[in-house]
Amino acid sequence: MLVNSEIIFDFRKMKPKTIFWVTVFAVSMGFFESAVVIYLREIIYPSGFAFPLQPIEGILATTEIVREAFSLLMLLSIGILVGKSTVTRLAYFLYSFAVWDIFYYIFLKIFINWPESLMTMDILFLLPVPWVGPVIAPLILSFLMILLALLILYFSVRNDQVHVKAHELVLLITGSVIVIISFTQDFIKFILSHYSAADIWSPSANDIFKYSAQYDPGNFYWPIYVVGVVFILIGIGLFTKRNILLTKNFSQ
């Protein structure tokens, strides 16, 4: 009975009202993101979204890239505003980012019945090169981010000195970099099959931009992606194990 009381007490201290409103913010942002994509697809892909991509030029391309940057800034801002320490700010940022991403796809499915399946290929990000992968890949990462965020918030209730140790952070960052490589590898391979790395920085880079519009994802590097996810899981596992032990010692 004591254990149950402690769990209820910890849950209340996790500020469920705050988590609820951060969730509302992230879901709302997911709708706005999906609405923008629906508008863009109606303008650029009136016959339906498909690879290879139609080139986006001028103010539309610039606006889309800047919009992505400001979307990240909005999510970072909510974490900074709500969190009380560096680690809880990180937790709220990860949580809002993940919920935003999940509901982005949910709203697309509701309004335009896309994606057709979890294996449908999608453009995930544009900077510094296009990130491409099946829809299920970013969704898996989103659930891992929610898991890590809630663990951080839970342990920060039990111990206000909670932090991510250097080796745990290295594992999380390494895993994230490996995952990014899995998203970008196919596009980079496509470009480098026709241009050298030196050509990218040459005056002919404009031609490369036009050529990149012909890109049609031929392969997703699942082995690389899985390795990255394993690194992330190990980082989360080590963080969890260490804080369980700290929590037990703290409560004794």
Per-residue pLDDT band for 8 (boundaries 50, 70, 90) equals very low
pLDDT band, residue 50 (cuts 50/70/90) = confident
Considering only CA atoms, which of 109, 175, 104, 183 is closest in space to residue 144? 175
Q: Using CA atoms, how far apart are residues 68 and 137, in angstroms rounded to an integer? A: 19
CA neighbor of 95 nearest in space, from 30, 182, 39, 7: 30
State mean pLDDT over 178-195: 86
What is the rounded (10 degree) CA torsion for 218, 129, 138, 41? -80
Q: Which of 5-19, 121-135, 163-177 has the lowest mean pLDDT?
A: 5-19
Q: pLDDT value at position 91?
A: 95
Which is nearest to 108 in space by CA: 132, 81, 85, 139? 139
Give the per-residue pLDDT at 41. 86
Who contacts 177 (Cβ-Cβ below 8 Å, separation ≥6)?
228
> By mean pLDDT, which of 8-17, 213-222, 227-236 is the weakest?
8-17
Q: How far apart, in whole angstroms, are the C-alpha atoms of residue 55 and residue 174?
A: 33
Q: How many CB atoms lie within 10 A of CB 79?
A: 20
pLDDT at position 2 is 39
Give the pTM.
0.85
Whether 235 has a pLDDT exceeding 90, the answer reads: yes
Of the candidates 166, 162, 163, the residue with the CA atom closest to the CA atom of residue 174: 166
Phi then psi for residue 57, to 5 deg, are -125, 170
CB 2 within 8 A of CB 150: no
In DSSP notation, 171-190 reads HHHHHHHHHHHHHHHHHHHH
Nearest to 171 by CA among 92, 111, 89, 233: 233
Please give the Cα distance from 58 to 214 (Å, whole number). 18
What is the per-residue pLDDT for 178? 97
Torsion over CA: 103, 108, 113, 119 (sign): negative
Position with higher pLDDT, 147 vs 7: 147
Residue (of 147, 156, 141) closest to 89 by Cα position: 156
Average pLDDT over residues 217-231: 93
Structure tokens at 148: 């890590």
Mean pLDDT calculated for residue range 6-22:
69
CA distances from 160 to 11, 12, 70, 157 (A): 15, 15, 31, 6
The band of 199, judged by pLDDT with boundaries at 50, 70 and 90, is low
The set of residues, in sequence order, having a beta carbon less than 8 Å from that of 149 and lying 6+ positions away, is 90, 91, 92, 94, 95, 98
In this prediction, residue 4 carries a pLDDT of 45
- Given a cut of 70, whether residue 59 has pLDDT beyond it is yes
Residue 209 has pLDDT above 80, yes or no: no
Question: 105-161 pLDDT, tens per residue?
Answer: 999 999 999 999 999 999 888 777 788 999 999 999 999 999 999 999 999 887 777
